[in-house]
Amino acid sequence: MDTYKEWLKGLGIDLPDRRLDRLASKVAQELDLRVGGYITDQLSDEQLAEFDEVMEEANRKQMAWLEEHYPDYASVTVEQQKLLLEELKKAKNPAMLIKRWHQALSL
């Protein structure tokens, strides 16, 4: 979470720690959605069904499955982090963009 807080601070967002933590959490959620969406778009229907079953198991098993079936998981995460940060840098109001992401999750 500290990485995301540093990103936000680097974008000039100066908020009390508690509010910064909430925004950083929303950035982390958005990244998870993007990485998950990217990867699931690349999986076959069979792999997707299998992964859905795995999602119900412990996180350790999920990561092992991803490493076996999608070994580029870490590089996709890094790539998506870069894209997310660039999107935040280009935004006129990064905090509002993050709030919009969060609102979209609530729909």
Q: What is the pLDDT of residues 45-82, one digit of tens each?
A: 999 888 887 777 767 778 888 889 989 988 999 999 99
Question: For the chain, how many structural domains are there in total?
Answer: 1
Is 93 a member of any domain? yes
What is the average per-residue pLDDT within 7-33? 89
Phi, psi of 43 (to 5 degrees): -85, 150
Is 107 a member of any domain? yes
Is 22 a member of any domain? no
* pTM, rounded to two decimals: 0.59
Is 15 a member of any domain? no
Domain residues for 95?
43-107
